[in-house]
């Protein structure tokens, strides 16, 4: 095995999107749990609606939505700080690091990336496609947060 096969290299777009599919399944479950919790709290505070009537959120609609976004960003923030990998990233051998040092990203970097990455995706994927024109293979949110996603080498079989 050559040394080039043992060193990480920048992750390609298809692997990143495949990891996103895995992670989106987890995010759906986390979002459902969050929704159940805030719905329970709403019912405990305001009482249950009558049959066939929707729950009234009133002024809480926007804070509940912001809470959902915070839970999703917190999911990535936690896993990127713990090991640099979410479950989807682990399955596809991807790892997030600080672009300069190669160490786990700092809290500020994780927060910036967690907020910018969804915007990169929702803008027709332009922040991700930036990878194809960047001379150092950065996504736009990776460049702005000072982070990189690497394709890790295969672990040797025991």
Per-residue pLDDT reduced to its tens digit, 9-53: 999 999 999 999 999 999 999 999 999 999 999 999 888 888 888
* Interval 142-149 mean pLDDT: 96
Domain presence at residue 141: yes
Counting Cα atoms < 13 Å in the Cβ hemisphere of 14 gives 0
Query: Is the pLDDT assigned to residue 97 strictly greater than 70?
Result: yes
Adjacent-strand bridge partners of 147: 98
pLDDT of residue 47: 87
What pLDDT, on the 0 to 100 scale, is given for residue 4? 57
Question: Structure tokens of 26?
Answer: 């987890």
Q: How many domains does the chain have?
A: 1
The answer to whether residue 2 sits within a structural domain is no
Q: Determine what percent of the chain is predicted with pLDDT higher than 90.
A: 77
Does the global pTM surpass 0.75? yes
Q: Indicate the average pLDDT of the chain.
A: 92
CA 115 → CA 3, 69, 110, 119, distances in Å?
A: 36, 9, 9, 7
Domain assignment present for residue 88? The answer is yes
Question: By residue range, what is the domain housing residue 37?
Answer: 8-151
Please state whether beta strands 94-98 and 9-10 pair in parallel, antiparallel, or not at all (unpaired): unpaired
What's the pLDDT band for 6 if we cut at 50, 70, 90?
confident
Residue 18 counted as domain residue: yes
Flag whether 50 is in a domain.
yes
Answer whether residue 1 is part of any domain: no
């Amino acid at each position: 095995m050559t040394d080039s096969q043992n060193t990480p290299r920048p992750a390609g777009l298809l692997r990143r999107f495949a990891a996103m599919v895995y992670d989106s399944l987890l995010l759906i479950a986390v979002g459902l749990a969050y929704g159940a919790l805030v719905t329970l709290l709403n019912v405990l505070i305001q009482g249950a609606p009558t049959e066939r009537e929707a729950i009234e959120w009133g002024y809480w609609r926007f804070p509940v939505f912001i809470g959902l976004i915070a839970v999703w960003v917190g999911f990535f923030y936690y896993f990127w700080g713990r090991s640099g990998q979410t479950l989807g990233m682990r399955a596809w051998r991807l790892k997030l690091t600080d672009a300069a040092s190669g160490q786990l990203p700092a809290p500020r970097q994780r927060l910036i990336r967690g907020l910018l990455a969804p915007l990169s995706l929702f803008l027709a994927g332009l922040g991700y496609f930036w990878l194809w024109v960047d001379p150092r293979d950065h996504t736009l949110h990776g460049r702005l947060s000072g982070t990189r996603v690497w394709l890790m080498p295969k672990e040797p079989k025991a």
